Amino acid sequence: MRKAYLDNLRWVVVVIVAIYHVFYMYNAEGIVGTLGKITDLEVQYYDMYQYIVYPWFMTILFIVSGISSRYALDKSSGSKFIKNRTTKLLVPVTVGLFAFQFIQGYINISFSGVASDPTMPLLGKIIACILSGVGVLWYLQMLWLFSLAIVLVKKIDKDRLWNVCRKTPVWALFLLVLPVYGAGQILNTPKIVVYRFGLYFFAFLLGYFVFSHDEVIEGLKKWFWAFAVVAAGLGVAFCVMYFGQNYADNPVYRTPIYLMYDWFMCMALLGGFARYFDYTNRFTKWMGDRSWGLYIFHYLGISAVALFIAKLGLLPAWACYILSAICGFALAYGLYAVISRIPGYRWAVLGIKKK
């Protein structure tokens, strides 16, 4: 039986990620790989949105993925699980780069100046175009690796640790912020900073071992407001302390306040959605069914508007923000509706074997 609150949490976070990328595209904080600031404002205070959501939205997705992996492994063998995850996750970020994502790659290398660099040979540009098509699909890469690892972990554990974690008390969830902080310090790639293997694998493991238990979720539901208040206070403190600095790189993303906010916000989200959003209706089902397509395609519309309209100054800044948001969602839903219906091609781009 599907957990409605997990489905709702997943699609809501994906929507938050899509909106985040609109602000990210035109950020004034020096985050590289984007068009950057297009306004004449001395300070873009609305960039605060990025600081509010960035510390936790990928962590919560990996926690939810860990929970979902546990449920999937309860219903299938390890080999079948790996086969399904390879189709769903690895194919779009390998075959999909050649089948579709090179389009996103071209836009990405255009921002960096590689596409117009006369000193780079054509073959080099083509390779850069394909590799840069990974974009937001880095999440799929990491999740596939974690999926392979969890099958091995399950065989070794034989559910011994998993059964122990069923009894995890709420006070232990508060204290887990300490190992979360430790995980945030290790296995961070130096250049492409989104690959935080320590933090995200630990989050995935916690989802698998701890939060896949209904008993633990019940504790989070009861203590939701405590986690929410702590998370809100830490969020305000983080924004006040670091607004204007690069929140996505060292040293900010390794600071205690960043990782404490990250953790307590994740706990508040799990408890809050389990308590208040554990239901399904036509709207939530529609959004949930299309959240995969929204994640895969949303950045294309946002970045295309930035490159072909905002960069050329064809519209005022406020219109570029609105148009980027509209195109991000509309193009994503449109592409998903079309590509998910094309046999073979949907496998290459979306990892869907059958409709």
**Chain segment 283-320, per-residue pLDDT in tens:** 999 999 999 999 999 999 999 999 999 999 999 999 99
H helices of 91-223, in order, are 95-96, 102-112, 122-132, 138-157, 160-165, 170-175, 177-183, 197-209, 214-222
Residue 204 has pLDDT above 70, yes or no: yes
Q: Give the 3-state secondary structure of residue 196.
A: strand
Q: How far apart are CA 126 and CA 113, in angstroms?
A: 14
**Cβ neighbours of residue 267 under 8 Å, at least 6 residues apart?**
173, 220, 227, 231
Instruction: Compute the residue count for the chain.
Output: 355
Cα of 6 vs its chain's centroid, Å:
15
**Chain segment 215-244, per-residue pLDDT in tens:** 999 999 999 999 999 999 999 999 999 999
What torsion, rounded to 10 degrees, do the Cα atoms 119, 123, 128, 130 define?
A: 160
Residue 167: which pLDDT band, with cuts at 50, 70 and 90? very high
**Cβ neighbours of residue 132 under 8 Å, at least 6 residues apart?**
104, 105, 106, 108, 109
Q: 77: phi > 0 → left, psi -120 to 50 → alpha, else beta; which? A: beta
* Residue 32 confidence (pLDDT): 80
* Residue whose C-alpha is closest to residue 249's, from 165, 190, 324, 294: 190
Residue 1: which pLDDT band, with cuts at 50, 70 and 90? low
Phi, psi at 310, each rounded to 5°: -65, -45
**Chain segment 12-24, per-residue pLDDT in tens:** 999 999 999 999 9
Beta-strand ranges (E) seen in the chain are: none
Q: How far apart are CA 304 and CA 103, in angstroms?
A: 10
Bigger pLDDT: 193 or 348?
A: 348
* Residue 311 confidence (pLDDT): 95
Q: How far apart are CA 108 and CA 92, in angstroms?
A: 18
Token pair belonging to 306:
């930035």
Share the mean pLDDT of the chain: 95
Average pLDDT over residues 136-160: 96
Cα of 41 vs its chain's centroid, Å:
29
